[in-house]
Each structure stands twice: as structure tokens, then as C-alpha cells.
Amino acid sequence: MKPEEAKDLTQGFFALLLERRDLNAVRKEKGRLRSYLLTSLKHFLINDHNRAIAIKRGDGQQLIPLEDWHECERVGFEPADTLAADQIYERRWALTVLDRVLARLGEEYDAAGKSQMFDWLKKSLTEDPERLSQANTAHELGMTESALRQAFYRMRQRYRELLRETIAQTVMVPGDIEDELHHLVAVLRA
């Protein structure tokens, strides 16, 4: 699908959603907005696809089975991502949540004048902290290795707190926070 077609479909979906005022019903019911939007989008795409197929059938054009295409003709038409669309959606959601949490944490460190420490601690979240030479980093930051390890521990704790706060903003009932956290982890592991 061309980017322009994808944009048209996205705009059409949200226009229909707003026109039918479907979001008013979501607020009244218990549920997750993300799940509702994903399901609604799937139905919208199926209906759009069915309309497009019906139009194509009436044009009298001859269909060419995909099996008849030669391998060289298919190059460039293979999907770029092997994940299903809903899996891509869920993964992007999870990564967006994590990025927001990390940005908030960075803002806190910047406000405290500890942006250099945050940069090292952020690297140590994604890389092996032992490979980053704690001794050199501690020396650069004017700390002992023990103090650096403690700072890393405190950062991880604060990251968890901010993650819980961010997730809490996306659920209706506080009891759903743990379920949503487990779902986030499952999406990232998939």
C-alpha cells in the first residue's frame, strides 16, 4: 500500500469514528481505548477492502493469480515486516510508552542538573553496565563506583514508578495497571 493510500484510509477511519460519535460510547463502557480502536480499525479495513473488491469485480478486469508471478516480478512487493498489523500496532504502543517514560525521567535529571549522569545511566539500561567501565564513568562523574551503582539502582526504581504512573493514565480501574504492565512486557518479548 502506498503511503498516500494509508493516509487516506487513516483519515477516513477517524472521520467515520467522529461522524458516528463512537468515542462517546467508549467513555461510558468499561474497556481500553487502545483495544477498541484496534478492533474498530480492523473492521473498517475489512469493510473498505470488501468495497474495493466489489468495485474491481464489476470492471471486467481479468484477475491474475499471484502464484503465476515469477519470483523476479514479486521483488519489492514482499512485506517489509513479518509481524501482523495488530502486532506492529501493539509494539509501537509499547515502545511509545517506554519512550515517554524515559523522556520524563530525563527531564527530571536535567532539572536536577544531572544530565551527564542520566546519559550514562540510560546507556546502561540498554547495554551491559560492566562493558561501560563503571570505574571510568564514576571517576568522570566524581563519584565512587558504589555511589554510581546506587544511582543506577535509584534510576531504575524511579523508571518503574514513572512507568506505573504512565500506565495508570491509560486504564480506567487501578486494578488494571498490573495487567497492562504484563501486557506491555509480553508485547516487547514477542
Q: Tell me, what amino acid is at 160?
A: R
Tell me the domain boundaries of the chain: 3-74, 85-189
Q: Are 162 and 101 in contact (CB under 8 A)?
A: yes
Taking only the tens of pLDDT, the chain with its 190 residues reads 778 888 888 888 888 877 877 666 665 555 677 777 788 888 888 888 777 766 655 555 555 555 555 555 555 555 556 778 888 888 998 999 999 999 999 999 999 988 888 887 777 766 665 566 777 777 887 888 888 888 888 988 999 999 999 998 888 888 888 999 998 889 888 8
The set of residues, in sequence order, having a beta carbon less than 8 Å from that of 91 and lying 6+ positions away, is 83, 187, 188, 190
Q: By the 8 A CB rule, do 132 and 120 touch?
A: yes
Q: How far apart are CA 47 and CA 32, in angstroms?
A: 23
At position 180, the amino acid (one-letter code) is: E
